[in-house]
A = this chain, B = another copy of it.
Amino acid sequence: MEKICIGMLGFGTVGTGVAKLLIENKEVISRRVGAEIVLKRIADIDIESKRDVELEDGILVNDADIILDDPEIAIVLEMIGGETIAKELMLKALKNGKHVVTANKALLAGHGTELYAAAAAGNAEIAFEASVGGCMPIIKTIRESLVGDSVRSMKGILNGTCNYILSKITDEGIDFSVALEQATKSGYAEADPTLDINGHDTAHKLAVIAALAFGVQVDFDDLYIEGITLITPLDIEYAGQFGYRIKLLAVAEHVGDNRIQARVHPTMVPFDNILSNVNGSLNAITINAVAVDDITLFGKGAGMMPTGAAVVGDIVDLARNIMHEASGRVPMLSFQQEHIENATVVPMDELESLYYIRFTAPDKPGILAKIAGVLGKYNISIESVTQKGRETTDFVPIVMLTHTAKEADVKKALEEIAKIDKSAPKPVLIRIDS
């Protein structure tokens, strides 16, 4: 039986999962591929720590070049993460004609153009199913299943840490900081959760899939990104009363003429939208396309074994190409390289949405009329107003849901309302998915 050799760079959590699967399921994988997939070398600076997998002697090395310079190794797994050494090693692997499998969305979102060009130059492929949504076949679905259709929009819950924290606040009425602490303790948040809770990890993933779905290049800096750190139990409670759950959604939408919306922010999702029922650390994505309407995928978006399984799926895809000398069979970016277009990300000011706005207003007569007057001036029409409870003796919460309004108008109105009483706290604004 033909043998295809793999070298892995980085032996952390996901790397361990990949090694386990390749070793434990070796026989079933070869029954499927018709070739033996051999994990020949793993390189890591730490070759001492005990991992939860048994390796034969000589597999673990501390020099990446042993892998990158080995002509027998056809596929390199970049399981290091980050944007520095990972990028350098990936470029060398591609230059040496080795295919690369990665789960590194930050690297792809920030340096994709350079990396894809290096792959083309080296006659190699980059496979990255594991970079978005863990085990869910998002990349494959966009790139292979929806290939005869036109994607209109995608809405996803793509960060398990945020979804876990928001679910905790929702279920237990605790504050963000307490929920984050619990998430860290139970292993649902990393020691440094910054990239998760500020929405950047979600945005990296959005950039990767928006490029595929629309056949465009997306400049990561054009994305609107808002994290979950300011979400309070109070807003979640109000959301529930109005029939919504708050989720950190990644939204991309094709709005014509190579213009796309691409944004990440807390969003109120109606109870009857399946995404509002995705709780805990689960991920989900709904892809809306012209012919198929909505397809939703959900499952575990992270973790040693789910992400490991996605990496192995990519290895098998590449191995099947190698067996049939069919590399490049599915274009990495869904479209043939020469057909990738530039897209403009629509400025957030042009967004039209329903809004939830919670004012903390001085408890004085006439204040509601003043707020409503400013909103009216900017053509923001109010669907409902609720006023209950009391935050302090001097202020009352006023919760408004708007009809469809323009983001720019809402921003201007809030600036003007801020001048009514400069001692009042900043209002909370959450966009509503409709």
- Confirm or deny: A391 has a beta carbon within 8 angstroms of a beta carbon on chain B: no
| CA gap between A135 and B289 in the complex, in Å | 10
- Confirm or deny: A321 has a beta carbon within 8 angstroms of a beta carbon on chain B: yes
User: Which chain B positions have C-beta within 8 A of A339?
Assistant: 31-32
A292 and B298 contact, Cβ closer than 8 Å, known pairs A34-B336, A144-B140, A329-B326: no
Nearest CB of chain B from residue A123's CB, rounded to whole Å: 13
A134-151 interface (Cβ within 8 A of B)? 134-137, 140-141, 144-150
Q: Which residue of B lies closest to A298 (CB)?
A: B296
User: Which chain B positions have C-beta within 8 A of A312?
Assistant: 147-149
Indicate if the CB atoms of B313 and A145 lie closer than 8 Å: yes
| CA gap between A147 and B371 in the complex, in Å | 58
- Confirm or deny: A382 has a beta carbon within 8 angstroms of a beta carbon on chain B: no
| CA gap between A297 and B140 in the complex, in Å | 13
A134, A292, A321 — most chain B CB neighbours (10 Å)? A292
A84-107 interface (Cβ within 8 A of B)? none
Question: A336's contact among B32, B294, B296, by CB below 8 Å, is which?
Answer: B32
Question: A313's contact among B17, B144, B331, by CB below 8 Å, is which?
Answer: B144
Question: A32's contact among B140, B313, B317, B335, by CB below 8 Å, is which?
Answer: B335
Taken residue by residue from 278 to 322, chain A's Cβ proximity to chain B (1 for < 8 Å, 0 otherwise) reads as: 000000000001111111111110000110111011011100110
- Confirm or deny: A59 has a beta carbon within 8 angstroms of a beta carbon on chain B: no
| CA gap between A148 and B19 in the complex, in Å | 11
A12-60 interface (Cβ within 8 A of B)? 17, 21-22, 25, 28-29, 31-34
Indicate if the CB atoms of A293 and B297 lie closer than 8 Å: no
Question: What total of chain A residues lie within 8 Å of the partner, measured CB to CB?
Answer: 63
Indicate if the CB atoms of A309 and B289 lie closer than 8 Å: yes
Nearest CB of chain B from residue A341's CB, rounded to whole Å: 10
- Confirm or deny: A388 has a beta carbon within 8 angstroms of a beta carbon on chain B: no
| CA gap between A195 and B342 in the complex, in Å | 49
Nearest CB of chain B from residue A42's CB, rounded to whole Å: 17
> What are 22 contact pairs spanning A and B, CB under 8 A?
A25-B150, A32-B147, A32-B339, A129-B145, A135-B291, A140-B141, A144-B316, A148-B308, A148-B312, A274-B277, A291-B306, A292-B310, A293-B299, A293-B300, A293-B306, A297-B297, A320-B330, A321-B324, A321-B329, A324-B326, A325-B325, A329-B329
Given A31-B336, A140-B140, 15 more A-B residue pairs with CB atoms under 8 Å apart are: A21-B291, A33-B336, A34-B336, A136-B295, A145-B313, A146-B309, A147-B312, A277-B277, A292-B305, A292-B306, A292-B309, A293-B300, A296-B297, A321-B324, A324-B326
